[in-house]
């Protein structure tokens, strides 16, 4: 029997993942490494924190590099991109994951918060991608750009006017990149998670009394998402299996956006009409 085609194999590839010291980014970095990629991490967290993720990646037999950088410092991003490229030799996969949120009423949003969230969630993504993509083109690399957006890039949620706007921006930014980079064989796509259990949940007030059961009740799959629910999609988008996917988004929200107005609680209880297996 011949060996199965390596549709999800990332051996020989190098990925740069932002915001991988914890949460979804950590899960993505480890999953990419498990599929064979070497990993560079750019994060503003203390180096010893991010180093723990790098150490884990090295136990998988992959190379790992760590860079401490605030993504919001967009004028520094070309230099950090150049450093990573020089150390790693190339970047095949760029995962723009680092992101943040504030939960506050529209009238209480300050100019500082508005600028900060756009600087991290949009400006940082754009200027890092600009440099990495130019280097990919110059090196003839048919790379992958994968941006972590959100279901909030498609539908709005109260208290998150600025966050929603940044994720909407990421969606159209990604599609624009898909067109401009597509002619160089580079794809650009997003993953758009729903409610995923991570530290950012504090920013979204996931820890408010009753919010978690409320979420679960309104998520058709009946649970919050996990980091693993996100990481596999990024592996797929980075892999040979996704070579012809460009300018798309994959929403992983447990089915939230499939529904226009929750009405399950008004339905009669579910009754099985087929006999149970003996």
Ligand X SMILES: NC(=O)c1ccc[n+]([C@@H]2O[C@H](COP(=O)([O-])OP(=O)(O)OC[C@H]3O[C@@H](n4cnc5c(N)ncnc54)[C@H](O)[C@@H]3O)[C@@H](O)[C@H]2O)c1
Of 127, 135, 134, 125, the residue nearest 87 (C-alpha): 135
Residues 196-255 touching ligand X, rule: CB under 6 A, are 196, 198-200
CA distance 207 to 201: 7
Among 10, 15, 24, 32, binds ligand X (CB under 6 A): 24
**102, 151, 163, 239: which one is catalytic?**
163
What would the x/- binding string for ligand X be over residues 44 to 83, using CB under 6 A? xx------------------------xxx-----------
Which of these is catalytic: 13, 67, 149, 167? 167
CA distance 222 to 216: 5
Please state the closest distance from residue 2 (CB atom) to ligand X, in A. Answer: 39
Q: State how far the Cα of 251 lies from the Cα of 238, in Å rounded to an integer.
A: 16
Relative orientation angle of helices 77-88 and 124-139, to the nearest 10 degrees: 40
Taking CB under 6 A as the rule, which mask of x and - marks residues 103-142 in contact with ligand X? -----------------x----------------------
Q: Which is nearer to ligand X, 18 or 174 (CB)?
A: 18
Binding ligand X (rule: CB under 6 A), the pick from 74, 129, 150, 246 is 150
Beta bridge partners of 70: none
Cβ-based nearer residue to ligand X, 88 or 196: 196
Q: Which is nearer to ligand X, 150 or 187 (CB)?
A: 150
Question: Using the rule CB under 6 A, is 9 a contact of ligand X?
Answer: no
Task: Decide: 40 and 15 in contact? Cβ < 8 Å.
Answer: yes
What secondary structure letter does DSSP report for 120? Answer: I
Contacts for 152-156: CB closer than 8 Å, 24+ residues apart: 153/190, 153/192, 153/249, 154/192, 154/249, 154/251, 154/257, 155/257
Return the structure tokens found at 178.
């898909």
User: Within 10 A of 158 (CB to CB), how many other CB atoms are there?
Assistant: 9
Instruction: Using the minimum distance from each CB to ligand X, give the nearer residue, 68 or 184.
Output: 68
Closest CA relative to residue 147, chosen from 76, 208, 98, 185: 98
Tell me the closest approach of the beta carbon of residue 199 to ligand X, in angstroms: 4
Q: Among the options 21, 150, 151, 239, which is catalytic?
A: 150
Closest CA to 171 of 153, 146, 195: 153
Q: Smallest gap, in angstroms, from Cβ of residue 71 to ligand X?
A: 4
- Decide: residue 117, CB within 10 A, 0-12 exposed, 13-18 middle, 19+ buried: buried
Supply the minimum distance, in Å, between the C-beta of residue 266 and ligand X.
Answer: 28
Q: Tell me, yes or no, if 150 is annotated catalytic.
A: yes
Q: How far is the CB of 178 from ligand X (least distance, A)?
A: 19
Window 30-49: residues binding ligand X (CB under 6 A): 43-45
Count residues contacting ligand X (CB under 6 A)?
Answer: 26
Binding site for ligand X (CB under 6 A): 18-19, 21-25, 43-45, 70-72, 97-100, 120, 148, 150, 193, 195-196, 198-200
Would you name the residues annotated as active-site residues?
Answer: 150, 163, 167
């Amino acid at each position: 029997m011949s060996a199965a085609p390596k549709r999800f194999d990332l051996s020989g590839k190098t990925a740069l993942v932002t915001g991988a010291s914890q949460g979804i980014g950590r899960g993505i970095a480890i999953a990419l490494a498990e599929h064979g990629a070497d990993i560079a991490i750019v994060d503003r967290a203390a180096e010893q924190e991010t180093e723990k993720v790098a150490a884990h990646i090295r136990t998988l037999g992959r190379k790992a590099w760590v860079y401490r950088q605030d993504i919001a410092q967009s004028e520094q991003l070309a230099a950090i991109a150049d450093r990573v490229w020089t150390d790693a030799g190339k970047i095949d996969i760029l995962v723009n994951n680092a992101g943040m949120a504030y939960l506050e009423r529209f009238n209480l949003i300050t100019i500082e918060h508005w600028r900060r969230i756009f600087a991290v969630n949009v400006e940082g993504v754009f200027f890092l991608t600009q440099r990495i993509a130019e280097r990919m083109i110059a090196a003839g690399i048919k790379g992958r750009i994968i941006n972590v957006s959100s279901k909030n890039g498609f539908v709005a949620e109260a208290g998150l006017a600025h966050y929603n706007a940044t994720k909407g921006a990421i969606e159209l930014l990604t599609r624009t990149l898909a067109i401009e980079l597509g002619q160089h064989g580079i794809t650009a796509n997003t993953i758009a998670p729903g409610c995923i259990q991570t530290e950012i949940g504090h920013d979204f007030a996931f820890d408010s009394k009753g919010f978690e059961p409320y979420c679960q009740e309104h998520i058709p799959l009946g649970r919050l998402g996990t980091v693993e629910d996100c990481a596999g999609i990024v592996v797929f988008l980075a892999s040979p299996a996704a070579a012809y996917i460009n300018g798309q988004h994959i929403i992983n929200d447990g089915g939230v956006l499939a529904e226009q107005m929750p009405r399950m609680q008004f339905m009669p209880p579910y009754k099985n009409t087929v006999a149970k297996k003996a």
